[in-house]
Amino acid sequence: MKLPLALDLVNANACLPASKSLIIRQSTADDLSYISTIEQLTSVNPWSNRQLNNCLEQSLVLIQEEQLIGFAVIILVEDQAELHNIAINPQVQGQGLGRFFLQALIEALPVTIKQLYLEVRVSNYRAIRLYHRMGFSKIAERKDYYRNGLGREDAVIMARNCAT
Ligand SMILES: CC(C)(COP(=O)(O)OP(=O)(O)OC[C@H]1O[C@@H](n2cnc3c(N)ncnc32)[C@H](O)[C@@H]1OP(=O)(O)O)[C@@H](O)C(=O)NCCC(=O)NCCS
């Protein structure tokens, strides 16, 4: 397994719109409380601080005017990448920031990566719409994959080709 240090963050930052004053960088331990707050605010079944901490080395954060406004967790395995989490602070959602963030992360993937995979709740229309717009297609479903209150919810598995 490779760490996201293999990601080309220079390339990622170069494709962000200058007018939005955005920066993507690798996360540090100091980011944990901010990441955790966003996770709590945005997830039906939030990752624990321990889970988030365990993924810090695979986490990228989106900064706008010195505020941490989003984070993503990406794992690289051989020639595949998996997006395990992505979230934007609800206060600034719906402004195109999630799209810019995801596009920049795709641009940052090493050229050896052929596919980017992700899983999303079947009810998460907003995220699914974003992924479709970003070139992802549904490749499978996992029945009852997610906890949802007292019940369960299906996962949609989506993938996007990255090789140029
Ligand atoms: C999914 C998420 C990262 C998108 O971030 P965002 O900054 O709000 O997204 P954008 O503003 O770039 O919008 C991207 C697309 O999301 C959809 N969207 C964004 N805000 C929306 C809103 N208020 N209502 C409906 N759709 C919305 C739209 O399809 C939009 O594309 P379009 O308007 O160009 O058609 C964000 O909603 C989020 O953090 N959600 C909670 C965490 C989550 O579900 N993560 C995904 C786990 S798999």
Judge whether 57 counts as a catalytic residue.
Answer: no
Mutate to test the pocket of ligand 1, among 97, 126, 145 (most ligand atoms within 8 A of CB): 126
Q: Residue 2: which pLDDT band, with cuts at 50, 70 and 90?
A: very low
Q: Residue 150: which pLDDT band, with cuts at 50, 70 and 90?
A: confident
Q: What is the CATH number of domain 4-161?
A: 3.40.630.30
pLDDT at 157: 98
- Min mean pLDDT across 2-6, 33-37, 39-43, 65-69 is at 2-6
Element (H, E) at 70: strand 67-77
Distance from the alpha carbon of residue 17 to the mean position of ligand 1, in angstroms: 18
Distance from the alpha carbon of residue 164 to the mean position of ligand 1, in angstroms: 26
**Whether pTM exceeds 0.75:** yes
Backbone φ and ψ for 21, nearest 5 degrees, come out as 50, 50
Q: Is the CB of 127 under 6 A from ligand 1?
A: yes
Q: Which atom of ligand 1 is nearest to the CA of 93?
A: 8
pLDDT(72) > 90:
yes
CA atoms of 84 and 68, how far apart (whole Å): 19
Can you tell me the mean pLDDT for 58-82?
A: 96
- Mean pLDDT of the chain, nearest integer: 94
Mutate to test the pocket of ligand 1, among 47, 130, 133, 134 (most ligand atoms within 8 A of CB): 130
Beta bridge partners of residue 80, listed in sequence order: 77, 115
Distance from the alpha carbon of residue 96 to the mean position of ligand 1, in angstroms: 8
Domain boundaries, the chain: 4-161
Q: Residue 5: which pLDDT band, with cuts at 50, 70 and 90?
A: low
pLDDT at 164: 64
Q: Residue 163: which pLDDT band, with cuts at 50, 70 and 90?
A: confident
CA atoms of 65 and 26, how far apart (whole Å): 16
How far apart, in Å, are the Cα atoms of 58 and each of 5, 61, 116, 156? 8, 10, 15, 22
Q: Residue 4: which pLDDT band, with cuts at 50, 70 and 90?
A: low
